[in-house]
Amino acid sequence: MTTSSALDSFLDKWRTRWPEWSVAEPFVPLAQRNLVVAWFTLLQEFDDILNTGGDPMPADAKLAWWGEELRSWAGQRSRHPLGRLLEPLRAPWAELAQALPALVDARAAPLDPAQAMAGLQAYAAAVAAVEAVVFDTPARGDVAAPVLVQTLAQRLHEAGVAAVPRSLLDAGHGDAAQLWAQQLLAGWPARVAGPRPRRLYASLARSRLQARAQGRELKVTPVRTLLRTWWAGRG
């Protein structure tokens, strides 16, 4: 497989998981679109490592590899196909690498919502700092908060009850996963701070969490997605 086809394979894998992006993508400048998908593909790699099930050793080894890779990007050297698009950017890659071990600790069920938030706060801040460079947008407002909530929402989506704080499980008030979704949703406005690609991505992820919080199946239509992302993408 050539480097170009390997890169396309990674980008297509993310697009398959987020088919709604085809409706949101026109709100991103044409020259930036592959870069945006490359960045979100990298974050999906980290989400998969966070939400791995069974034996964690392969995921831990992969995380260690990514730490080394990101540090090499800081020195303008890359091995992974995603580096073709991302490594030339002078982003704080080493700082993101330093925050990655938090993903291992965050696999354990948190005692309560506050611990769930605290466990991934440094990681979310590192992601937001890189995004400010990747999307060439100065940070305004609390840009780490949307990243944090979206990471926890994605964890709930992929890991289910394993992601729910123990305090909600112990309370015994109905569906604990649904209750956790409701709590996350309460702190996640329809339009968040941060660069436009983050706002668009957050709107898609938030709609999935909203369905979970309401105990219903997600109904995706192009018109609904268009209206949602148009609103989220407004400056």
Q: What is the 3-state secondary structure (H, E, C) of 153-214?
A: HHHHHHHHHHHCCHHHHHHCCCCHHHHHHHHHHHCCCCCCCCCHHHHHHHHHHHHHHHHHHC
Q: Which amino acid is at 80?
A: H
Q: At what angle do helices 196-213 and 176-186 cross, to 10 degrees?
A: 140
* Rg of the chain over all Cα atoms, to the nearest angstrom: 17
CATH number at residue 19: 1.10.600.10
Stretch 218-231: mean pLDDT, rounded?
90
Is residue 2 scored above 70 in pLDDT?
Answer: no
Percent pLDDT > 70 in the chain is 98
Which pLDDT score is estimated for 103? 97
Which pLDDT score is estimated for 102? 97
What's the whole-model pTM score? Answer: 0.94
d(CA 129, CA 4): 28
Which pLDDT score is estimated for 140? 74
Q: What is the DSSP letter of 81?
A: T
Any idea which residue has 């593909």 for tokens?
41
d(CA 91, CA 94): 9
**CA dihedral in degrees (106, 107, 109, 114; nearest 10)?**
20
Which pLDDT score is estimated for 44? 97
Is residue 67 scored above 90 in pLDDT?
Answer: yes
CB atoms within 10 A of CB 183: 16
Which pLDDT score is estimated for 3? 54
Q: What is the mean pLDDT of the chain?
A: 93
Alpha-carbon dihedral sign for residues 113, 212, 126, 55:
positive
Asked if residue 65 lies in contact with residue 15, where contact means CB atoms within 8 angstroms, the answer is: no
- Residues composing the chain: 235
Number of domains in the chain: 1
Q: In terms of residue numbers, what domain contains 66? A: 3-233
d(CA 123, CA 128): 9
Tell me which of 74 and 46 has the higher pLDDT: 46
Phi, psi of 107 (to 5 degrees): -70, -30
Q: At what angle do helices 222-233 and 196-213 cross, to 10 degrees?
A: 130
Q: Which amino acid is at 129?
A: A
- What is the per-residue pLDDT across 14-28, written as a single tens digit (0 to 9) for each? 999 999 999 999 999
Say whether 69 sits in a helix, a strand or coil. helix
Stretch 208-219: mean pLDDT, rounded?
92
Stretch 220-224: mean pLDDT, rounded?
89
- What is the per-residue pLDDT across 153-178, written as a single tens digit (0 to 9) for each? 999 999 999 999 999 999 877 799 99
